[in-house]
């Protein structure tokens, strides 16, 4: 019985890891940022000091106009976290400025809503 439970836990752990990878694009985008799949598009995150920029692409890698999209980013964790509102910019970008500098490796969770009202999250 103990071996059966151990095997079941191992299977769930392996399956959970495979499912979690489903939304991680894993590639670098055209601007060198990390890519994640969210609400049917690819989002590329770029971070320069306090400025967060998201570039939107379709499945074929073509830019998706950012008009009509709304987004925010939860930057950091614990008591040092901050919310950054991202506004549509030129062509396929959404950008915003954090209150304080964001260091490399800081967890960032993007909340994105498309013009059709569908929303989703991506973690960078």
Per-residue pLDDT tens digits for 64-107: 999 999 999 999 988 889 999 999 999 999 999 999 989 888 99
User: pTM, whole model, 2 decimals?
Assistant: 0.77
- Residue 108 CB-density burial (10 A; 0-12 exposed, 13-18 middle, 19+ buried): buried
Q: How many domains does the chain have?
A: 1
Q: Distance between CA 61 and CA 18 in Å, rounded?
A: 24
Structure tokens at 25: 């694009």
User: For residue 11, what is the domain's CATH number?
Assistant: 2.60.40
Q: Which domain holds residue 85?
A: 2-123
- If you search the block for the tokens 């989002």, which residue do you land on? 43
pLDDT of residue 16: 39
39 pLDDT higher than 60: yes
Q: Distance between CA 110 and CA 122 in Å, rounded?
A: 5
Structure tokens at 63: 């830019």
- More confident: 2 or 110: 110
């Amino acid at each position: 019985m103990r071996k059966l439970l151990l095997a079941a836990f191992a299977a769930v752990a392996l399956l959970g890891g495979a499912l979690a990878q489903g939304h991680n694009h894993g590639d670098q985008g055209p601007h060198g940022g990390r890519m994640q799949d969210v609400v049917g598009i690819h989002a590329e995150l770029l971070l320069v000091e306090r400025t967060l920029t998201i570039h939107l692409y379709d499945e074929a890698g073509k830019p998706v106009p950012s008009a009509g999209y709304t987004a925010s980013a939860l930057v950091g964790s614990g008591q040092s976290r901050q919310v950054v509102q991202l506004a549509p910019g030129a062509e396929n970008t959404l950008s915003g400025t954090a209150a304080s500098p964001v260091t490399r490796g800081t967890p960032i969770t993007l909340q994105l809503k498309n013009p059709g009202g569908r929303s989703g999250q991506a973690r960078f």
